[in-house]
Structure 1
Amino acid sequence: MSTSEATEQKLKRALTTPMLTLYGLGVTVGAGIYVLVGATAQIAGPYAAFSFVVAALVVSLTALSYAELATRYPVSAGEAAYVAAGFQRDWMAVVVGLAVAASGVISASAIAIGAASYLHALTGFGTPLLTMGVVLIMGLIALWGITESVFIAAVITVIEIAGLLFVIGWGVSVHDPQGYAVTSMIPPLESGAWKSIFAASLLAFFAFVGFEDMANVAEEVKEPTRTIPKAILLTLALATVLYLGTSITVLNVVPIDVLANSAAPLALVFSEAPETIKKGFSAVAIVATVNGVLIQMIMASRVIYGLADRGHLPKVLAIVPKATRTPIVATLLVVATILLLTQTLPIGLLAERTSQIVLGVFVLVNLSLILLKRAPAKAEQHFDVPLIVPVLGVLTSSLLFAAGFL
């Protein structure tokens, strides 16, 4: 097949509401909640669970903006298209698109290192080698096809969610919890408590990073005007309930001094459990992190494909072979970049940079919707939110970004 024939192939509309919701949950519910409860507890103490509520409120406002924009412009490289339409500046669209792709690549790199660390504990093999193996295997799945990739991710997502439900169920059955009483987790109206909550919310925000990736597969969604808003809101609602239940359980069962210093906080709930249950949960945690790598790869490659398809990047990156109907060159570039980052940068720095990039993109996306809403209305059918939603989205995303410097 010639290059010109390959680039003429378009992505396949195959994703329904259940599949898109599982896709969103797969990238949202994963490495974040599995590793960040301890870090948020170190900052916010008994109020760590409330940090996830604050992060959810910030994310929900921007999620509603995404729901409208994704139905206005149901294309790959969604954020780039939104900014181009709102600001009428092509260079801004390219910058935002590259920032979104970078956030996916950097996030996948952090998650891959985490997955390899869990695997190292079970197998004893070197972490760098395991990291490369995780990235390459997930890259092959991403190249396979969107339906196949999302189906595999959906199956893994069900396992991830079952793992969190198991944490909650096991925690409830613990007879002598060593952590905080549930009543002591409600924050008082004191500035010191809320300062720590907001500071921890930036970390908790990382656990919600992913819902926006759903906008970047919009070109592969059936009936996007109806499907995308439902899937985005379902993803956030389910993720928030799971996060709140999980964080409350861990804070209740595990002593704070042990929890705050753990890189695998959910496993601490099973400290008194039989060895088979401990190993079984470790396997689920590995699956959870690996899934995040796959879905971030899918998202980043679609953004790069979308930019190339619109002439903002070299056309070779928009090649879509007929056999797979996936952006093969863009995916290979993403995989190669992730391999480089995992071998050169630490996981903490990667996670921090991901949150900062995503929050910056959120501000620009909300500003774009404000500008579009102020322009003359077009007779197009799309999901619609009040103007106050993107205004609050700009404000809350900016405040959460600033909270990282408290």
Structure 2
Amino acid sequence: MANSSKKMSLMGLTTLVTVNMMGSGIILLPTNMAQLGAVSLLSWIVTAIGSMAIAYCFSQCGIFCPRPGGLSAYTEEAHAKSGFFLCSYLYFLSLAIANVAVAISAVGYMTTFLPWLGSGAVPLFVGTTSLLWLTTVANFGGPGITGRIGAITVWGVIIPVAGLSIIGWFWFKPDVFVTAWNPNNLPIQDAISKAIPLTLWAFLGMESAAQASDTVENPKHTVPLACLLGTLGAAIVYVLSTTVIQGIIPNTELANASAPFALVYARMFNPVVGNIIMVLAVVACVGSLLGWQFTLAQTAKMTADERMFPAVFSKISERNAPIVGMIVCAVLQSLMALSTISPNASAQFSKLVSLAAVTNLIPYVTAATGLLVMMYKARVSAGIYARNTLLLLIAVAYSLYALFACGKDAVFGGAIVLAFGFLLYGFLAKRFVQEVPAVNDRTDNA
């Protein structure tokens, strides 16, 4: 039996969840939200409630279904092998799209030091693909190196963003915030809906929380609580930081900023501090991208091990790195960056965020609904079943609303991708069918 003193406490797991979620998802959000106005901040409330419900459902899934596979394994509980494939397929695509968006965030912050990167669509594409390939090659060293680098670099975003949530109020001007409230005169419901994909983007990754259930003390109590507290902690930092920045930088200026957090620190202190924040943000983005590139390749490997992705993704090096799979992923992401090419980092970022949200939300729904079957198998008490089902319905309701809020273009793109996934699985399905009776047997029974 493992020594409980070596296991993670509630505080440790809560911190881990918060750090994993924050990553680099926040650094371009103030610019995109400013384009709608400060009224878009209301969407944080809706997303925080929905995300906490989703996080709770995944924590319960992790307890009832400890086998490998994550979201795909949870999905298979209710939706069989085809569900496993479609969940892996969509989650894989969502990670690939999200990685391109993270690379664009980093390039946006680098334009101050390398103005050429912000001079048009081609330079932005070159910068984005260069980062994608750099982080791919850096992962060839294996998971140990990736983990150590990511654990350090992520603080490059967390420290400035969390710091702004606390000290930024000394520079906060209510009149600047009031002016920024609703510059486009949008109905409140429309403003919230338009901002949902952006706020949801910041919470993507919460599904990784349940994966640590076998390394914590009293997982049935600690994991659900840490998921909720970690998500709530990230939500508080997100709300405070994006609110305070709207009261320091005038809306028109913020809406056109390529590096909003660097801009606000330069305004609060001086340009040198702004440049330091910019360097920290770039480092954090690169570190985050490094980790997510490995996660992308591992997702493909896990699915290939189940005979649902090409076998090439299963090949690993002596250092346990799926190098060939990583190269294929980098090529795919380069094509994605090319297909959404734009001269404006913020515009390209918005397109990718909506599509990433759609392809992530469908696996969220399929995985969460697997909890119903898990609870049935575990013969849980009526009270636990009722509580979990209520939270599951909240999680699914939010996911469906978020899908609607992503807009017809993103949903249309996601529908095509999903339909193509059914075609792909059609070719794979025979691998999972029980042995077909001989022709003579079928004839005799006719």
The question of a shared fold, defined as TM-score above 0.5 by the shorter chain, is answered with: yes
Q: 1:391 aligns with which of 387, 390, 393?
A: 393
Q: Match for 1:286: what amino acid?
A: V
Deviations along 1:110-164, whole A, 9 cap, x unmatched?
1112212322331345444432332233223433233332221111122211111
Does the 8 Å contact 1:80/1:93 carry over to 2? yes
Task: State the shift of 1:301 in Å.
Answer: 1.8
Counterparts of 1:266 and 1:370, CA distance in 2: 42
Are the counterparts in 2 of residues 214 and 232 from structure 1 also a CA contact under 8 Å? Answer: yes
- Bigger shift: 333-342 or 227-236? 227-236
Deviation at 1:26, TM superposition (A): 4.9
In structure 2, the partner of 1:60 is 52
| 1:115 alignment partner, one of 100, 106, 116 | 106
- Cα 1:338–1:90, aligned 2, differ >3 Å: closer, same or farther? same
The residue number in structure 2 matching 1:311 is: 307
- Structure 2 CA distance for aligned equivalents of residues 158 and 372 of structure 1: 37
Q: Which runs of 5+ in 1 are unaligned?
A: 1-13
**Deviation (angstroms), 1:97:** 0.5
1:296-335 mapped onto 2 (5 Å cutoff): 296-321=292-317, 323-335=318-330
1:73 to 41, 61, 65: 65
**Aligned counterpart, 1:361:** 363
What secondary structure is seen at the aligned counterpart in 1 of 2:57? helix
Look up the match of 1:51. Answer: 43
Give deviations 1:171-207, integer Å, cap 9, x for gaps. 223275652269x979xxxx93244223322221111
* Cα deviation 1:73-122 (Å, max 9, x = unaligned): 345541211111112x2122101101001100110011112212322331
| Counterpart check, 1:103 vs 2:94 | yes
> Residue type matched to 1:146 in 2?
P
Q: Distance in 1 between matches of 2:69 and 2:325?
A: 12
1:286 Cα offset (Å):
1.4
2:239 pairs with 1:240: no
Contact 1:61 1:390 survives alignment (8 Å): yes
Structure 2 distance, partners of 1:271, 1:315, is 50
Specify whether residues 392 and 214 from structure 1 end up closer, same or farther in structure 2 by C-alpha distance, changes over 3 A only.
same
- Mapped pair 1:270 → 2:272: no
Q: Are positions 1:135 and 2:137 aligned together?
A: no
Q: Which runs of 5+ in 2 are unaligned?
A: 1-5, 117-122, 342-347, 409-446
Over 3 Å counting, the alpha-carbon distance change for 1:271 and 1:119 in structure 2 is closer
RMSD of aligned residue pairs (Cα, Å): 3.3
Counterpart position of 1:84: 76
Q: Is the 8 A contact 2:172 2:244 kept in 1?
A: no
What residue number does 1:259 align with? 254
**Which residue does the alignment assign to 1:295?**
291
Classify 1:301/1:76 alpha carbon distance in 2 versus 1 (closer, same or farther; 3 Å): farther
**1:331, CA displacement in angstroms?**
2.9
Q: Distance in 1 between matches of 2:303 and 2:75?
A: 13
**AA matched with 1:338:** Q
Query: Relative to structure 1, is the Cα distance of residues 73 and 224 closer, same or farther in structure 2, using a 3 angstrom cutoff?
Result: farther
Any idea what the Cα deviations from partners look like across 1:54-91, whole Å, max 9, x if unmatched?
2111111111111111233345541211111112x212
Counterparts of 2:173 and 2:75, CA distance in 1: 53
* Alpha carbons 2:153, 2:283 under 8 Å: kept: yes
Identify if the C-alpha distance between structure 1 residues 401 and 90 changes in structure 2 by more than 3 Å, giving closer, same or farther: same
Which AA in structure 1 matches 2:71?
E
The 1:404/1:129 distance shift into structure 2, 3 A limit, reads closer
Aligned residue in 1 for 2:154: 157
**2:153 and 2:288 in contact (8 A); partners too:** no
Which structure has the greater CA radius of gyration? 2
Residues 91 and 360 in structure 2, CA contact (< 8 A), matched pair in contact too:
yes
* Structure 2 CA distance for aligned equivalents of residues 99 and 336 of structure 1: 18
Q: CA deviation at 1:271?
A: 4.6
- The change in CA–CA distance for 1:175 and 1:402 in structure 2 (over 3 A counts) is closer
Describe the shift of the 1:230–1:101 C-alpha distance in structure 2 as closer, same or farther (beyond 3 A): farther
* Whole-angstrom distance in 1 between the partners of 2:68 and 2:228: 20
Counterpart amino acid of 1:94? F
Runs of 4+ residues deviating >4 angstroms? 14-27, 175-178, 227-231
Check conservation: 1:370, 1:391, Cα contact below 8 A: no
Match for 2:240: what amino acid? G
In structure 1, what is the Cα distance between the partners aligned to 2:195 and 2:74? 30
Q: Is the 8 A contact 1:139 1:332 kept in 2?
A: yes
Deviation at 1:368, TM superposition (A): 2.0
Kept after mapping to 1: 8 A contact 2:35/2:255: yes
Please name the residue that 1:6 is paired with. none
What code does the residue aligned with 1:106 have? I
Is the Cα contact below 8 Å between 1:211 and 1:236 reproduced in 2? yes
Deviations 1:317-336 (CA, angstroms, capped at 9, x unpaired): 22344x42343433333233
Match 1:171 to one of 168, 172, 183: 168
In the aligned structure 1, how far is the partner of 2:396 from the partner of 2:83? 17
Q: Is the 8 A contact 1:100 1:358 kept in 2?
A: yes
Structure 2 equivalent of residue 7 of structure 1 = none
Q: Secondary structure at the match of 1:180?
A: helix
Alignment partner of 1:376 is 2:371: no
CA distance in 2, matches of 1:155, 1:133: 22
Alpha-carbon separation, structure 1, partners of 2:126 and 2:198: 28
Asked if the contact 2:24–2:285 (Cα under 8 Å) also holds between the matched residues in 1, the reply is yes
Q: TM-score, normalised by structure 2?
A: 0.75
Question: 1:51 corresponds to which letter in structure 2?
Answer: S
Matched, 1:28 2:21: yes
